[in-house]
Chains A and B, each alone.
Chain A
Amino acid sequence: MWCHVASAGRGKLMETGYTAPPNSAETILEISELTVRFGGVIALNGLSFKVASGQVVGLIGPNGAGKTTAFNCLSRIYKPNAGDIKVDGQSILKLDRHAIPALGVARTFQNVALFDNLTVMDNVLVGAHRASISGFMANALWLPKVRSAERAIHDRARDAMAFLKIEDCADALAGALPFPIRKRVEFARALVCNPRLLLLDEPAAGLNHEEVEVLREQISNVRDRYRCAILLVEHHMSLVMAVSDRVVAMDFGMKIAEGTPEEVQQHPKVIQAYLGADAA
């Protein structure tokens, strides 16, 4: 089963006349003085930054800068040694991993973590787990409330799949699909729970030029349509610079620059980190 990648999403999906939120917008995510050590290696060293609601923030840095480590702290996969992460002003460091989506936070994984023996539809539906779940007994008896919740999340899943142009693959097993489609399935799974903060871990990795163009449009459209903030870890510089309202640059676990895409691109420390000391 192959879905059309190239033709997908080329046209403008919607025009909403979006304007970037002002700096005074309420903060949805606040990371402060986050430090993570693995044995003697310091992966994150006092990282601090904020994401305002509805804002797209790009997190860049060379390999090993600590970007994914920061993500994994946000998902409660890693436990930081020091510092705090607040969503809506509440620390998440005491919460269970499965409680994070309840805060409106959804994520994708760098190397795509799909449920390979489930259909694409089921994969996306799992993303709506919180909205659909009821007791084991209610499910075993297939009570009306289970049925109506199922109908509602099926509609939402179809919406998300149509939005990302993967509705043709709904019945295919996720494990049998090509990589670019798998990335979109994971994207849809994160979107279907209507997140307020979306964490995208290298969404462009492994995509060709044309597919990255599609992704760029999709990310802008997601922000407009789902009205969520996006924290984007990405190596693909032109993508980050095109979609981000603000960019945070990291190296060796520390923030080295922060600002608008233009400001960060011209920052001497960023040029040094990417091109070496001589270039600065």
Chain B
Amino acid sequence: MQSQMIKTSSSRPLVAAVCMLAILLPLFVSDFRSFQVTQILVYAIAVLGLNLLTGYNGQISLGHGAFFALGAYVAAILMDKAGVPYWATIPVVAAVCFVVGFIFGLPALRLAGHYLALATFSLALATPQLLKHPALEKWTGGVQGIFLSKPQPPFGLAMSQDRWLYWFVLLHVVVLFVCAANLLRGPVGRAIRAIRDQPLAAETAGIDNSRFKTTVFGISAMYTGIAGALSAIVLQFVSPDSFTMFLSIYFLVGVVVGGVGSIWGAFLGAAFILIVPNLSSEVSKSATGMLYAMVLLLLIWRMPNGLWSGVLWMWRAATRRPA
């Protein structure tokens, strides 16, 4: 329903304007602002990845921070130890995270609802310690993590590194969001959502639930892993303590705030989890958590279907013509 709203002819100029703005943004704002928006875009990919699994397929994950960390470390190790150029790490990360997610999806088939949430939460709990483990220190750099060098714009283009990174990330955002939108509007997307609503009826209609659920787990992990790799490239740094269990919880907050089961809400959810904590700490250093909690509660109360549905509601209100 939501994607249909976007496609209506009256909204087309608006969508075009948003796209233009997204492409040209770094030309109008400082490098630091570009960097901040780049981070939002990176998180939007991760939130979309989790939304595919939880919002569309009904498999709750409280451990997607682990896939984010996996993507970040695979990219960092490839660049640091193997000298792989930063852009070439993305396909490798995609493949690795898809396979790991797919494999994790196999036991997840036997776990429903809360049990799956707990099983994935254990991933989130174990990740920072695993990354610090002495046996892996040779690659992961242990507690110190890995420092990387900042990528230069290609072909000797005269632009700042932050601007270049913005466009580099934006390119991935466009490809990944278009692919997700395509996936969800066709037969595969219907099957994914049918399994969420009525697994038994889906199966008797000929849908191979197990194959779909494990594949969606793989794709979800792949999206979040790519976001992790982009994050490592953008920050030029990975360390175990960036990937605590809170990261997984924030992703889920991003999904719910943006809108469960809405692709474009991922941007709003990502913006929320990055901007609101900063804003609240600027307002009050001593009550940051309280302010964050209040904003969150207010949103859940006033917009239970997420920010994206709020945007759609405002859009409809603005374009409604008197009959």
Contact = CB atoms under 8 A, between A and B. Distances in A.
Contacts of B200: 77, 113
Interface in B186-206: 186-191, 193-194, 196-198, 200-206
B272 to A, nearest CB: 23
Contacts, number: 99
A149 interface: yes
B179 interface: yes
Given A98-B208, A130-B206, A118 B193 contact: yes
A149 B187 CA distance: 9
B85 to A, nearest CB: 25
| Interface bin, chain B | 20 to 34
Given A116-B197, A149-B187, A126 B203 contact: no
Contacts of B188: 133, 136, 139
Interface string A130-154: 1011101001111000100110010
Contacts of B189: 139
A131 to B, nearest CB: 9
B197 A98 contact: no
B25 to A, nearest CB: 26
B191 to A, nearest CB: 6
Contact of B201 (A113, A130, A173): A113
Nearest to B212: A136
A28 interface: no
B183 A97 contact: no
Interface in A171-190: 171, 173, 189
Contacts of A97: 203-204
A119 B1 contact: yes
B190 A118 contact: yes
A72 to B, nearest CB: 10
A63 interface: no
Contacts of B197: 114-118
Nearest to A121: B190
B206 A102 contact: yes
Contacts of B194: 115, 118, 122, 126
B186 A150 contact: yes
**Interface residue SS majority, chain B:** helix
Contact of A98 (B182, B183, B203): B203
Interface centre among B204, B207, B261 (most CB of A within 10 A): B204
A193 B193 CA distance: 19
Interface in B163-195: 179-180, 182-183, 186-191, 193-194
Interface residues of A, number: 41
B182 A139 contact: yes
A114 B215 CA distance: 23
B187 A134 contact: yes
A231 to B, nearest CB: 14
Given A117-B197, A133-B191, A141-B182, A101 B206 contact: yes
Interface string A88-131: 00000000111111100011010001111111001001110110
Nearest to A130: B206
A75 interface: yes
Contacts of A136: 183, 188, 215, 219
Contacts of B204: 75, 77, 97-98, 100-101, 107
B127 interface: no
Contacts of A117: 193, 196-197, 261
Contacts of B219: 136
Given A107-B204, A133-B191, 11 more contacts: A77-B204, A100-B204, A114-B198, A115-B202, A116-B198, A118-B193, A129-B187, A133-B188, A134-B187, A140-B179, A171-B1
29 contacts: A77-B204, A96-B208, A98-B203, A98-B204, A98-B209, A99-B206, A100-B206, A106-B205, A114-B197, A114-B198, A115-B194, A115-B202, A117-B261, A118-B193, A122-B190, A126-B191, A126-B202, A129-B191, A129-B205, A129-B207, A130-B206, A132-B186, A139-B182, A139-B189, A141-B179, A142-B182, A150-B187, A153-B187, A189-B205
Interface of A: 75, 77, 96-102, 106-107, 109, 113-119, 122, 125-127, 129-130, 132-134, 136, 139-142, 146, 149-150, 153, 171, 173, 189, 193
